Amino acid sequence: MTTIAQDEASFRYQSNCSLRDVASRLRSAQCVLVTTHSKPDGDALGSVLAVLRMCRAIAIHAEGWIVGPFEENLLELSGSDAIVRVDPKSPHLPDDSFDLVIVVDTGAWSQVEVLAPWLRARHANIINLDHHARGDAIASTRVVDVTCGSCTALLVRLADELAVDLAFGADSEGRYSVAEALYIGLATDTGWFRHANARASEFALAARFLHAGVKKDDLYARLEQCHRLERVLLESRALASLRTLAHGTVTLMSLSKTDFDETHGLPEELAGVVNLPMMAARIRASVLLVEQDGVIKVSFRSKPSVAGGSFLDVNQIAATFGGGGHVHAAGARIKGTLAEAAQQIDAAFAPDRA
């Protein structure tokens, strides 16, 4: 049996099995737990829902365990799927009934720290499915494909290995299918097909999902046009804090605890806020600092190159703070105050480095 210590001794975050192997293990499982990183975004929750619906399609019992905070408009997309919401401030851990665990859209211990004690005791029975370039030895078995525009773009191949109909699970209005869950991840992680990771392969997948009955306009309205006014007030606070770095090519915004208290906005309502300054032509990258319980959460975004020009690899910058992600979208956490974090970001984007 492979142990965590053995795996970490010679660890490289790359695939060590095939999706056919994963499908075989799923078919032989009795009870499956599916989880992802805390504060799940569209790709994370879409990936969890997709695996749950695949398991239901092959008559395997499965539950999704997700750690908050939660964006309610995302959770409403779960329909009747078995989702257990874990409060990070007073967590409860799963019992021993699960014989297989699937971790999707992350491979970093820091992003699953609430469930980490339970996961570490089950290393041999964990499968990790991810599309990020960096991760840890969370699982004994993993499939990592950084060429995928989303984790759900990887999972559609698992559905094919399981011979699951992508329309499975749809109700009378065409909602809650496997395809819908997969589309949620693909659409949100590509910025609704605007980002550099929306390539011909991603559009081809989107076409498959639409043929399977996904109603894209309905999904867009349910995800992007149903926010609370408090979110808009938070956006205004973030934009009011904006200043530029690196000779005016990078923006830095921040949100303090006071901003949340006074607007009644919530941290989980910030999806997409970091992208707002990149509407300006001269801006190459944007950074958002968010004060949360003594830790500063940092979100990095950058534009792809145009006509062969240069671009900022924010994944490399995030890595200097112990974070990571993708070339144009990454995150990290910095201990200290907003002012201290801003000073470190200033240094990271100094003209001789940016």
Q: Which residue has the higher pLDDT, 272 or 84?
A: 84
Q: Is the pLDDT assigned to residue 279 strictly greater than 60?
A: yes
Residue 353 lies in a domain: no
The partner residues of 291 in beta bridges, in order of sequence, read 296
Q: What is the CATH number of the domain that holds 135?
A: 3.90.1640.10
What is the domain extent for residue 293? Answer: 229-348
- Residue pLDDT, tens place only, 282-328: 999 999 999 988 899 999 999 987 655 578 899 999 999 988 888 88
> In this predicted structure, what is the pLDDT of residue 307?
55
Alpha-carbon distance of 156 to 274, in angstroms, equals: 29
- 236 shares a domain with 212: no
Choose one of 224, 239, 260: the last residue of a domain.
Answer: 224
Question: Which conformational region is residue 213 in: left (phi greater than 0), alpha (psi within -120 to 50 degrees), or beta?
Answer: left
- 246 shares a domain with 131: no
Tokens standing for residue 73: 């408009």
Select, from the ranges 1-10, 190-199, 255-264, the one with the highest average predicted confidence (pLDDT). Answer: 255-264
Q: How far is CA 208 from the centre of its chain?
A: 22
- 158 shares a domain with 14: yes
> In this predicted structure, what is the pLDDT of residue 8?
58
pLDDT band at residue 112 using 50, 70 and 90 as cut-offs = very high
Q: What is the CATH number of the domain that holds 275?
A: 3.10.310.30
Residue 124 lies in a domain: yes
> In this predicted structure, what is the pLDDT of residue 162?
98
> In this predicted structure, what is the pLDDT of residue 294?
81
- 234 shares a domain with 115: no
Contact 46, 15 (CB under 8 A): no
pLDDT band at residue 100 using 50, 70 and 90 as cut-offs = very high
Alpha-carbon distance of 148 to 43, in angstroms, equals: 12
Q: Which residue has the higher pLDDT, 50 or 9?
A: 50
Cβ-in-10-Å burial (0-12, 13-18, 19+) of 164 comes to buried
- 306 shares a domain with 168: no
- 145 shares a domain with 119: yes
Provide the domain count of the chain: 2
CA distance from start to end of the chain: 45
Pairing of the two strands 100-104 and 295-302? unpaired
Choose one of 201, 224, 247: the last residue of a domain.
Answer: 224
- 330 shares a domain with 272: yes
Q: Is the pLDDT assigned to residue 196 strictly greater than 90?
A: no
Q: What is the DSSP letter of 36?
A: -
Q: Is the pLDDT assigned to residue 21 strictly greater than 50?
A: yes
Alpha-carbon distance of 81 to 56, in angstroms, equals: 9
Residue 164 lies in a domain: yes
Provide the CB-side half-sphere exposure for 269 (13 A, CA).
19
pLDDT band at residue 195 using 50, 70 and 90 as cut-offs = confident
Q: How far is CA 58 from the centre of its chain?
A: 26
- 219 shares a domain with 233: no
> In this predicted structure, what is the pLDDT of residue 226?
87
pLDDT band at residue 7 using 50, 70 and 90 as cut-offs = low
Cβ-in-10-Å burial (0-12, 13-18, 19+) of 350 comes to exposed
Question: How much is the pTM?
Answer: 0.81
- 124 shares a domain with 236: no
> In this predicted structure, what is the pLDDT of residue 4?
52
> In this predicted structure, what is the pLDDT of residue 209?
98
Q: Is the pLDDT assigned to residue 50 strictly greater than 70?
A: yes
Q: Is the pLDDT assigned to residue 5 strictly greater than 60?
A: no
> In this predicted structure, what is the pLDDT of residue 306?
67
Percent of the chain with pLDDT over 90: 79
The mean predicted confidence, pLDDT, of the chain is: 92
Residue 354 lies in a domain: no
The partner residues of 331 in beta bridges, in order of sequence, read 299, 324
Q: Is the pLDDT assigned to residue 73 strictly greater than 80?
A: yes
Poorest-pLDDT segment among 4-18, 34-48, 183-197, 294-308: 4-18
Residue with tokens 């008559």: 59
| Mean pLDDT, residues 175-196 | 95
- 217 shares a domain with 74: yes
> In this predicted structure, what is the pLDDT of residue 137?
95
- 203 shares a domain with 145: yes
Q: Is the pLDDT assigned to residue 274 strictly greater than 60?
A: yes
Q: Is the pLDDT assigned to residue 6 strictly greater than 50?
A: no
**Strand segments (E) across the chain:** 31-35, 61-67, 83-86, 100-104, 126-130, 141-144, 243-245, 250-255, 285-292, 295-302, 324-325, 329-335
**CA-wise closest residue to 299 among 256, 270, 278:** 270
- 324 shares a domain with 213: no
